[in-house]
Amino acid sequence: MGDRSAPEEFPPGLNNAYFFAVFNALSFQFVLNSPMILYAKSLDASATVLGIFTGMMPLLVIFQIPAAQYVDRVGYRRFVYAGWGIRVCFIFAMALVPLTSGFLDPAARLGLILMLLFGFNLSRGISSAGWLPWITSLVPANVRGKYLSRDAAWINFASFLSFLLAAVCLGRNPQPWQFALIFLFSAIMGATSLSFLKRIPESAPPEQARSSSMPVPWGELLRYPPFRKLLRMVVAWALAHGGIMTFTVAFLKVKVAMPESEILFVNSVFFLGGLCSLWFLGSRLDHLGSKPVVTFCCVMWMLIIAGWACLAGKLWQPWLGVILGLQFLMGLFTALVNMSNTRLVMAIAPVMGRNHFFAIFSVLGNVTLGLSPILWGLAIDAIGQWHGMMAAFEWNRYSVFFGAVIAAFAVVLFFARRLDEPAAASMEQLLREVLIQSPQRVLRIWMRETR
């Protein structure tokens, strides 16, 4: 189950990747997450339009497919740096849109912000083709889980701070200039992240990849059995997970009547959950493997969404403690699934053709992730104001949505159990590590500190 005796060393200069992750998270969370959703809601965007806002970023990752063939020729760092620089320019333009409220109506501002988001996500989609191959070539195989868990912790910590900042800046009844201010801050943080991106060590692509002019055998890549099984699970995960963040925000805004600042405070707890993934799993992902982690997370996700369904169906009152608990668990198990999927594709992708394996992995997962909120949004709009009772449970557009998501996660669980990972630990070992050894370790540390 992995080589635990091998030295666990990161290459010099890789710490810049963590600094880049922090400032990048302080940037993109404002324009790709709840603050942008709330700005769109202030312009009377429908559920379908909110789905387009959410789905645009992953949908445009499809441009990794044509971009993958140029990564080795241009170089990893140069390729990624160019795309990230272009997208920062689009964020500066977004900061100006709320200031046009004096002469543009809401529909025009909504259209303008959609256009700028398209440019932002297009440049990101193209340049992201170089990121995963770059990091895979830099980080030794035996410590990739350790790197990914630390990276996820830093990203979630920065995201938590960004949501707190957005909540303070927007308040209970935000004005256009307040949205402009947080978008400007996003642009400045994005520009700062570029300075650290440029300091990440370069890694030379395989010589055969740089010189090869052979056409890419896409069909053969897709038929590679371990990769095909991973793709099926990732697509199912993206479909189930894709609309959760968007429509829990919409549910809290529309049905619970939470003001914007409280929604952002609540959503910040999502990233605290993600931050705790470092304690929950940490470097143990390298010897436990990805398959048991994803399987365990799918079961937990079904329970989490059942909690949201009870809130939407009015079996439970929307108590703040319950909502915060659900947000925390969502963040924790989202981080665990994402790092497990990334580690597994790093492990099974051969060196030759690695860029194209990663491109297929990112594109299929992200295109589904992009279509998912649009499809869920259409379904929610189609249900409209309909509601019906089943005993004490109310079926309405949000309770139906959460019920359908539970069924979707059952499909993810089915595919997760069929992943190929020979070195993976058993589910019993995972549960022993997570439920027994981790709490004991925390208890020993606490007792030592209190003496």
Domains, the chain, with CATH or none? 15-198+219-450 (1.20.1250.20)
Confidence label for 449 from pLDDT (cuts 50, 70 and 90): very low
Q: How far apart are CA 60 and CA 76, in angstroms?
A: 20
Over range 261-282, report the average pLDDT: 80
Across the chain, mean pLDDT equals 82
Which one, of 411, 389, 30, lies nearest residue 188 by Cα? 30
> Quick one: pLDDT at residue 426?
60
> Quick one: pLDDT at residue 425?
60
> Quick one: pLDDT at residue 217?
64
Confidence label for 84 from pLDDT (cuts 50, 70 and 90): very high
> Quick one: pLDDT at residue 429?
65
pLDDT > 50? residue 446: no
pLDDT > 90? residue 91: yes
pLDDT > 70? residue 440: no
Which one, of 156, 148, 147, lies nearest residue 328 by Cα? 156
Q: How far apart are CA 127 and CA 70, in angstroms?
A: 10
The most confident of the ranges 149-163, 181-195, 224-238, 377-391 is 181-195
More reliable by pLDDT, 407 or 290: 407
Structure token digits, residue 355: 């860029």
Measured over the CA atoms of residue 133, residue 135, residue 139 and residue 145, the dihedral's sign is negative
Residue recorded with tokens 């890549």: 221
> Quick one: pLDDT at residue 435?
60
> Quick one: pLDDT at residue 242?
85
More reliable by pLDDT, 184 or 72: 184
> Quick one: pLDDT at residue 451?
52
pLDDT > 50? residue 445: no
Confidence label for 262 from pLDDT (cuts 50, 70 and 90): confident
The reported pTM is 0.74
Task: Out of 55-69, 171-185, 202-216, 310-324, pick the least confident.
Answer: 202-216
Read off the pLDDT of residues 203-249 as tens digits, 9 standing for 90 and up.
776 555 444 455 556 677 777 888 888 999 999 999 999 888 888 88
**Maximum Cα interatomic distance, the chain, rounded to a whole number of Å:** 67
Q: How far apart are CA 333 and CA 204, in angstroms?
A: 34
Confidence label for 391 from pLDDT (cuts 50, 70 and 90): confident
pLDDT > 70? residue 80: yes
> Quick one: pLDDT at residue 181?
94
pLDDT > 60? residue 18: yes
Task: Out of 80-89, 198-207, 377-386, pick the least confident.
Answer: 198-207
- Give percent of the chain with pLDDT exceeding 90: 28
- Is 149:283 a contact under the CB 8 Å cutoff? yes
Kindly give the residue spans of alpha helices, DSSP state H, lying in 276-353: 277-280, 285-288, 290-312, 320-348
More reliable by pLDDT, 132 or 199: 199
Which amino acid is located at 94 in the chain? M
Give 36-42's long-range contacts (Cβ < 8 A, gap of 24+).
Answer: 36/113, 36/117, 37/246, 37/249, 37/250, 38/170, 38/174, 38/249, 38/253, 38/260, 38/263, 38/264, 39/98, 39/113, 39/179, 40/110, 40/113, 41/250, 41/253, 42/174, 42/179
More reliable by pLDDT, 423 or 53: 53
The residues near 175 (Cβ < 8 Å, ≥ 6 apart) are none
> Quick one: pLDDT at residue 3?
41
> Quick one: pLDDT at residue 430?
63
Task: Out of 59-73, 144-158, 341-355, pick the least confident.
Answer: 341-355
Q: How far apart are CA 94 and CA 119, in angstroms?
A: 11
Read off the pLDDT of residues 117-139 as tens digits, 9 standing for 90 and up.
999 999 988 888 888 888 888 88
> Quick one: pLDDT at residue 4?
41
pLDDT > 90? residue 86: yes
Structure token digits, residue 168: 């303070």
Confidence label for 434 from pLDDT (cuts 50, 70 and 90): low
Structure token digits, residue 246: 């968007």
The most confident of the ranges 32-41, 86-95, 147-156 is 86-95
More reliable by pLDDT, 305 or 218: 305
**Phi (first) and psi of residue 386, to 5 degrees:** -60, 145
> Quick one: pLDDT at residue 414?
94
- Is 74:409 a contact under the CB 8 Å cutoff? no
Over range 424-449, report the average pLDDT: 56
